[in-house]
Amino acid sequence: SHYPSLKRLIEGLMMGINARIEEKGNQAGIPDLTIRKNDRILGYIEAKDINIDLTKISKTPQLKRYLESNIGDNLILTNYLEFHWYVNGECEKTAKIADLKSGKIILVNDLQPIREILQLFLNQTAKDINNYYDLAKEMAAYTKTIINAIQSSLEIETTTEELNRLKETFKKLLLLDIDNDKFADMYAQTIAYGLFTAKIGHVQNPGQFAFNRTTAGIYISDRIPFLKGFFDIVINSDNVSNIHQSIENLVELLNTVDMTNILENFGRETRTEDPVLHFYETFLAAYESSLRKSRGV
């Protein structure tokens, strides 16, 4: 694997950069490297083998899923010789370090384009989220990543493993015959809405715990027993071990935004005291819009 070399290259370009190699098979739906800048997620790198044609990869379902989620906000696709940089789901620039000719790697003469593309990638800044509508859109993008992680896991699991067992539990609880797509959708929405509700509870009454994936269930109000019970099933079990990272990224988003300010603005704009219900409608509109776009509707 060339991952360690790629990690060293990226980390050596700028202070405060950390490139984490994701463990294959342990984290579904996440590219090979997660790049952080001063401890905040900056972007992702998906690395293919040297002899792989990136133009063909750009048309695969895997890359399509990445580009439709928050991962597509700042993503590099590379085969170590060629780099494609994607911003907001679109290919912004491409550059080469070398060409592969007759089995030999030949460095290009001008390395300025590759320096530029990597600097642009590392200079991307996080989106400013100052109102509930922007938060709803961003949460919808992160929820798509969770859906992709669930679907990827279901595809490689046997029927007796983790998520497939949980899918059977869902069927029994809801008396529904659900396929993988519906299960992933329901699961991801439960996580997103549950985490948002829990974050509001934590802002209003922090208690003694930091807000994270494992403590979130404590902060969901008992007045929403169905959500609380459902959320506990999907988040507090080892069944989700291989999609933890996609969930942790959403937790990180909620911990990064100024939720107190967003809630105050929400109250002024909507003249309502109940952000949980009304925000969900806004989130659902953004989420369903992204789903329609991905289905070409």
Are 107 and 228 contained in the same domain?
no
pLDDT of residue 297: 39
pTM for this model (two decimals): 0.84
Residues 110 and 57 in one domain: yes
Does residue 246 form part of some domain? yes
List of residues 6+ apart from 267 with CB closer than 8 A: 273, 275
pLDDT at 187: 87
Residues 141 and 116 placed together within one structural domain of the fold: no
Taking residues 232-257, what's their average pLDDT? 81
**Which residues does 215 contact at the CB level (< 8 Å), separation at least 6?**
209
Which residue in this structure is represented by tokens 């085969």? Answer: 79
- Return the pLDDT at 162: 74
Please count the other Cβ atoms lying within 10 Å of the Cβ belonging to residue 41. 20
Instruction: Clarify whether residues 109 and 150 are in a common domain.
Output: no
Residues 223 and 221: their CA atoms lie apart, in Å, by 5
223 and 116 in a single domain? The answer is: no
Given a cut of 80, whether residue 150 has pLDDT beyond it is yes
Q: Which residues contact 129 (CB under 8 A, 6 or more apart)?
A: 135, 138, 256, 257, 262
pLDDT of 166: 81
Asked, for residue 208, whether it belongs to a domain, the answer is yes
pLDDT tens digit sequence for 54-112: 999 999 999 999 999 999 999 999 999 999 999 999 999 999 999 888 888 999 999 99
Q: Which of 101, 122, 143 is the last residue of a domain?
A: 122
Residue 79 lies in a domain: yes
The predicted pLDDT at position 167 comes to 84
110 shares its domain with 216: no
| Rounded Cα–Cα distance for residues 132 and 286 (Å) | 11
Count: domains in the chain: 2
Check whether residue 164 and residue 191 sit in a common domain.
Answer: yes
**Could you tell me the residue range of the domain that residue 271 belongs to?**
132-295
Residue 282 lies in a domain: yes
